Amino acid sequence: MKKVLVATMLALAVASLYAGGKSEQAPQTQSGLAWVEDGTLHGLPLVNPLKVSGNIITAGSSTVYPLSERMAERFKEEGYGGLITIDSIGSGAGFERFTVAGETDIANASRAIKTKEMDAAKAIGRTPIQFRVGTDALAVVVSKQNTFAKNVTKDELAKLFSTAATWKDVNPAWPNEPIQRFIPGTDSGTFDYFAEEVFASNPEPLLSAKNLQLSEDDNILVQGIKGSPYAVGFFGYAYYAENEAALNILSINGVEAVKENVDNNTYPLARPLFLYSDAQVMRTKSQVAAFIDFYLSYVNEEIVKVGYFPASESDLDTGRKLWLEAMQGTY
Amino acid sequence: MVCGLFSSIKVLHMMHNVTKHPFGKKHRPHEVVIETLLFLFALFSILITLGIAIILIRESFLFFSDPKVDLIGFLTGKVWQPMIGLFGFLPLLNATLTTSIIAMLLGLPLGLFVAIYLSEYASDRVRGFLKPTLEVLAGIPTIVYGYFALTFMTPMLRSLFGESRVEIYNTASAGLVIGILVLPMIATMAEDAITSVPKELRLAAYALGGTSIETTFKVVIPAALSGLSATFLLALSRAIGETMVVALAAGAGPNLTANPFRAAETITGYIVRISGGDVSYNSVDYNSIFALGLVLFVITFTLNLISRKISNIFHQEYD
């Protein structure tokens, strides 16, 4: 029996050693990173996904999620053989995992990092680097069955998502029916952004509203809004684009959420989408640097398909420069 | 581990053969070993329960020691929105009770009738077919029930009562599906309660000229009543603790309403939504789920205790 025990323990020890060794990044050779190809694109070195190994862990905004998923898919299609995790848990929770626990390599965010989160990151020795990857036009949507609402002013928007009990309270021309609200959960960047834009950063009126459903899962919101002509909600544009057949998007102050208005900054609810990482993480886990490089190089070819709007070339370039600074001397 | 246990039993067996106690039960060292082992296993489950209780109490203490939270406000407040400092847990409790009561309204009569049929009327062939079917129902994962509620029950309710009256997420749909979910449990336990009524009682009823319906409803059911009450309470505590169905179908926002066709979040639904990774670990929202967990624990624990008491009374009657 003892023999069996000893043998089992030995086997376990060997297995754990092996697993540990495997999960750790193979040390980089002096000559540089294996996946870097000759030549550059937009100033960044070309990535060969076939030669990228090791896993990548990302978490954060449910708005950025479809975009990151798309980029990860393309990364894999072009040969990346590792595992890439993308958790859709809200920007706040994404930052928490990145800055407090330090368990993720990339934080996806639909808002800029807060000072508090920056400090938390410093406390664990990380310095978040911001990469702008695109622009979202936050979509305020109603069901296709809703025939009366087409446009809201920003004042009406504030009433619609706080004190008004019925649609008539918002606009006398609308029916006297209770409003059903479906909004992203309190830790989502979309929630924060909406509170900031519409309620001057005070979440209280938004949360005190009656008939309120909160969810971090935008598909639950879509289901709810589809279900009634008197339902209303908001989320990232991609979820509207995906459910265009069942939903109507409202224009804000008479401005429609179309590329032109997002580009020239007239759509009032346009907002930036970001990835955050850290130079140390990118250097020690070079697959992370490779993925971000790949992301920044090709995001504009994919972003429209997902349903968002391209960031300006200069914003993307700022990110690319930061990437080069972070990776200086490693390849 | 299992292998080790087996070989140690073998070794003990060999020792036993060597020492040879032909009749004696007294001096068998391996009996002691096995008894101790079994006792340790039993102790283990108690320790786990204790551990859960301790963690729940400790973490909810964190919540209640927050200056923004007071116990009275927690128990009597009508709005639950921790993010803006409103901690009244009545909306959550109300939704939990609504779904559970609806579940009981459906599950109890149905389960009871199934049990009566199975124990009093069904032929062996029908029984042999019905029992496994019920067991299949009990084996379906609750997430499947959740989607069943959302994609079958809700549309059905909406087409029956009108789309304007029934919201897409509503407690009625979740409650009905939980009723179906606890049905096999009620049926099995109620059947046990009914079959354990002594045969003499039935025979006496027949001898007095009772028809089988009279015998069942006037003699057997009343005699099994305490067992049936225990069944009811256990099923109720199962319904209160049910999570996946309500998380999917009942709604995702706290809402104090008596209307079962409106969306309302239950205690378990809220715990799922918050622990789904969307809130910072050290925030009041996060700590609040432990307080709610403690409330649930206390409710179901009390129900289970009561149901045990009742079935004890039941046993005394016929021993």
- pTM greater than the 0.80 cutoff: no
Q: Do A227 and B164 touch (CB under 8 A)?
A: no
Separation in Å, CA of B307 to nearest CA in chain A: 36
- Tell me the CA distances in angstroms from A190 to A44, A269, B119, one per residue in order: 31, 10, 57
Find the CB nearest A5 among B4, B251, B276. B4
Q: Which domain-ending residue is among A253, A268, A283?
A: A268
CA nearest to A69, candidates A54, A49, A84: A84
Q: What's CA A88's distance to the chain center, in Å?
A: 8
Residues A251 and A302 in one domain: no
**CB-based contact A131:A294 (threshold 8 Å):** no
Q: Do A4 and B281 touch (CB under 8 A)?
A: no
Question: How many structural domains compose chain B?
Answer: 1
Residue A7 within a domain: no
pLDDT by 10s per residue, chain A, length 331: 445 545 555 455 544 444 444 444 444 443 478 888 888 888 888 899 999 999 999 999 888 999 999 999 999 999 999 999 999 888 888 999 999 989 999 999 999 999 999 999 999 999 999 999 999 999 999 999 999 999 999 999 999 999 999 999 999 999 999 999 999 988 787 888 898 889 888 888 888 888 899 887 888 899 899 988 999 999 989 889 999 999 999 999 999 988 889 888 899 999 899 999 999 999 999 999 999 999 999 999 999 888 899 998 889 999 999 999 998 877 7
CA nearest to A135, candidates A255, A295, A250, A299: A299
**Cα A177 to Cα A148: distance, rounded to the nearest angstrom:** 12
Question: How many structural domains compose chain A?
Answer: 2
A272 touches chain B (CB under 8 A): no
Interface test with B, best of A211, A218, A232 (most B CBs within 10 A): A211
CA nearest to B266, candidates B99, B133, B119, B141: B99
Residues A154 and A258 in one domain: yes
Find the CB nearest A89 among B168, B252, B278. B278
What pLDDT is stored for residue B12 in this prediction? 47
- State the residue range of the domain holding A321: 32-135+271-327
Residue A18 within a domain: no
Residues A111 and A146 in one domain: no
Q: Which domain-ending residue is among A232, A252, A268?
A: A268
Amino acid at A31: S
Interface test with A, best of B278, B279, B284 (most A CBs within 10 A): B278
| Element of type H or E holding A104 | none
Helix axis angle, B90-116 relative to B267-275, nearest 10°?
120
Residue B52 within a domain: no
Residues of A in contact with B167 (CB under 8 A): 180, 227-228
Residues A212 and A124 in one domain: no
Amino acid at B108: L
Residue of A nearest to B158 (CA): A227
Residues A264 and A145 in one domain: yes
**What three-state secondary structure class fits B69?**
coil
**CB-based contact B139:B241 (threshold 8 Å):** no
Residues A131 and A276 in one domain: yes
B255 touches chain A (CB under 8 A): yes
Residues A151 and A206 in one domain: yes
What pLDDT is stored for residue B27 in this prediction? 66
- State the residue range of the domain holding B144: 80-318
CB neighbours (10 Å) of residue B15? 12
**CB-based contact A53:A26 (threshold 8 Å):** yes
Residues A120 and A146 in one domain: no
Residue B311 within a domain: yes
What pLDDT is stored for residue A24 in this prediction? 42
**CB-based contact A54:A21 (threshold 8 Å):** no
> What is the rounded (10 degree) CA torsion for B286, B292, B296, B298?
120
What pLDDT is stored for residue B94 in this prediction? 94
First and final CA of chain A: distance in angstroms? 54
Q: What are B135-169's pLDDT values in tens digits?
A: 888 899 999 999 999 999 999 999 999 888 898 89
A87 touches chain B (CB under 8 A): yes
Amino acid at A303: I
**Cα B141 to Cα B181: distance, rounded to the nearest angstrom:** 10
**CB-based contact B290:B59 (threshold 8 Å):** yes
Residues A128 and A149 in one domain: no
Residue of A nearest to B275 (CA): A89
Residues of A in contact with B280 (CB under 8 A): 92-93, 96, 100, 187
Angle at B154 between CA B172 and CA B256, to 5 degrees: 35
Helix axis angle, A2-23 relative to B2-19, nearest 10°?
170
First and final CA of chain B: distance in angstroms? 41
Residue B30 within a domain: no
A108, β-bridge pairs: A60, A275
**Cα B141 to Cα A286: distance, rounded to the nearest angstrom:** 41
**Cα B43 to Cα B56: distance, rounded to the nearest angstrom:** 20
What pLDDT is stored for residue A185 in this prediction? 85
Residue A12 within a domain: no
| Element of type H or E holding B274 | helix B267-275
Residue B124 within a domain: yes
**CB-based contact A289:A326 (threshold 8 Å):** yes
Regions of chain B where pLDDT drops below 50: 1-12, 15, 18, 319
A57, β-bridge pairs: A85
Domain CATH code at residue A154? 3.40.190.10
Provide DSSP, A285-304: SHHHHHHHHHHHHHHHHHHH
Q: What are A146-167's pLDDT values in tens digits?
A: 999 999 999 999 999 999 999 9
Residue A10 within a domain: no
- Tokens found for residue B309: 């008491």
Residue B54 within a domain: no
Residues A186 and A302 in one domain: no
**Cα B35 to Cα B43: distance, rounded to the nearest angstrom:** 12
Q: What are B42-95's pLDDT values in tens digits?
A: 999 999 999 999 999 998 888 888 888 888 888 888 888 887 888 898 999 999
What pLDDT is stored for residue B204 in this prediction? 93
What pLDDT is stored for residue A192 in this prediction? 84
**Cα B76 to Cα B69: distance, rounded to the nearest angstrom:** 12
* Pairing mode of beta strands A231-235, A180-184: parallel
Q: Which domain-ending residue is among A217, A252, A268?
A: A268
Residues A148 and A258 in one domain: yes
Residue A65 within a domain: yes
Domain CATH code at residue B242? 1.10.3720.10
CB neighbours (10 Å) of residue A322? 18
| Element of type H or E holding B128 | helix B124-139
**Cα A35 to Cα A81: distance, rounded to the nearest angstrom:** 12
List Cβ neighbours of A20 (8 Å cut-off, separation of 6 or more): none
Residue of A nearest to B265 (CA): A213
Angle at B209 between CA B204 and CA B213, to 5 degrees: 85
- Please count the residue pairs, one from chain A and one from chain B, whose beta carbons lie less than 8 angstroms apart: 84
Residues A243 and A305 in one domain: no
What pLDDT is stored for residue A29 in this prediction? 42
**CB-based contact A120:A100 (threshold 8 Å):** yes
Residue of A nearest to B6 (CA): A1
